[in-house]
Amino acid sequence: MSLLSGIVRKLSEDIKNILTVPAETARDITYTVEGIRSGKISPTEPLKTVGATAGALVLVLALLFPVYWILQAALSGSGASLYSADGISIFPDDPTLQAFVWVVGDLIIPGYSIAFDVPLTNVSLVFDTPEVTLLDASTYGVDRPSSFKHFLWNSITVAIPTVIISMCLIVPASYALSRRQFIFRRKILFLYVLLTQVGGGLGVALLIGLYAIYVQFGVNDSKLALSVYYAATAVPFNTWLLKTYMDGIPVSYEEAAVVDGAPPWRVVTEVIIPLSTAGLATVFIFTFLTGWTEFVVAQTLLGTDNYTLPVGLYSLVDEYSIPWARFSAFALTFAMPIMLVYLFAQRYIEGGLSFSGMEG
């Protein structure tokens, strides 16, 4: 729980910071203007700052342009295409959320009747919950909404087991590799470093073997089998990452806990786990994303009914025409949670990927 409240505290700090930015900037500017007037600050200094910031802003905008472009396509309705005859437009002509409605489809919680039998009597109480309509797609002119929710369910049932399985495999292993000495330790580490990047990518090269084996064991259409596979590919890189992160935690903290009489498991739960939050968060996100965004293996192994979001997304594309508005809206809805996590977890990820154990 302390972890959760910590995250909430950091988030509210972030929000407070963002909200006070205008005031801070205004104060900064008045201070600088005063300074220049009284001659304390040379006028070239603020000019340099403004120039550097503007340059950086241009760079960031240029890099993010494709993302913006997608958003614009998603907002410009059913007739959208990424190619417009009259040049590049900055804003969509008349923005509409229709494509997003098409993606999300109906949000209707159906009415249920709940019956209770009152004990010892013949009376039974029946409650009818009302039907709650949050969003009715047909009122927005969308007749056949996408199967987004179906794909979403498939993706969730693939990604969550992936995270659980891989965390169970990764966390104890990285702790042991970071803190204990044992036989084959160096060999295993070397192997993991060697395999760090090979895991995911070689999946394609090994796909033929994997496919044949899965088909013959009859698990080629099983979501659980797929998530075990994802967890397996995530092991080397993430174990190594978390191990490197744990190396950065000073051993003296654990020694202090041991001196205070903490048993080994409490050292882990009270010292190691809380101190490696950033590393754990990074590993969590990475393993989640393995299952959430992988395409090739999922497409080859899964049947139409079990398609995950990326496969469902690509099935919108046909050889000659891409329904850009729907395609982009679909992708953005699918990526939005991840982008939000990135936005807020950026400091954790930066810390988690710092490889603080490998200076030198």
Partner 1 sequence: MSTASRVVHRLEEVPFLESRDASLLFVLPGLFVFSTFMLFPVLYLIGVSFTNAAPSNLFAGEGVFSVMTFGEATFVGLQNYTDVLTDPEFWNSFGVTWLFVATSVALKICLSLGVALVVTNERVRGRRLMRSFIILPMGLPAIFTITVWRGIFSSAEFGLVNQVLGIFGAESVAWLSTRWPAFFAYNITEMWLAYPFMVIITVSALQDVPEELHEAATVDGAGLISRFFHVTLPSIKRPVLFASILTAAASFQQFLIPYVFNQGGPARANELIVVYGYREALSFSEYGRGAAVSLIAVVFIGAFMWINVKRGKLADGVSDE
Distances (CA, A) of 247 to 104, 169, 254, 356: 44, 18, 12, 8
* Beta bridge partner(s), residue 115: 126
- 198 forms part of the interface with partner 1 (CB under 8 A): yes
Burial (0-12, 13-18, 19+ Cβ within 10 Å), 305: exposed
Cβ closest to partner 1, residue 91 vs residue 182: 182
Residue 43 CA to residue 119 CA, distance in Å, equals 85
Kindly state whether residue 102 participates in binding partner 1, applying the rule CB under 8 A.
no
Helix (H, G, I), strand (E, B) or coil at 52: helix
Closest listed residue to residue 297, CA positions, set 199, 150, 216, 153? 199
Is 323 a binding residue for partner 1 by CB under 8 A? The answer is no
Per-residue three-class SS string for 106-133: CEEECCCEEEEECCCCCCEEEEECCCEE
Closest approach, Cβ 138 to partner 1, in A, equals 27
Check residue 15 and report its DSSP letter: H
Total number of residues that touch partner 1 (CB under 8 A): 112
Binders of partner 1 in range 134-153 (CB under 8 A): none
The smaller minimum CB distance to partner 1, of residues 127 and 184, is found at 184
- Residue 280 as a binder of partner 1 (CB under 8 A): the answer is no
Secondary structure (3-state) at 359: coil
Site for partner 1 in 201-260 (CB under 8 A): 201-202, 204-210, 212-213, 215-218, 228-229, 231-233, 235-236, 239-240, 243-244, 247
Q: Which stretch binds partner 1 (CB under 8 A): 3-11, 91-99, 120-128, 164-172?
A: 164-172
CA dihedral 230, 234, 236, 238 (to 10 degrees): -160
**How many whole angstroms separate alpha carbon 100 and alpha carbon 4?**
31
Minimum CB distance to partner 1 smaller for 80 or for 101: 80
- 262 lies in the site for partner 1, by CB under 8 A: no
Of positions 8, 67, 164, 256, contacts partner 1 by CB under 8 A: 67
What character string, x for contact with partner 1 (CB under 8 A) and - otherwise, covers 300-319? Answer: x--------xx--xx--x--
Q: Which of 83, 91, 127, 320 contacts partner 1 by CB under 8 A?
A: 83
Which of 169, 258, 262, 273 touches partner 1 (CB under 8 A)?
169
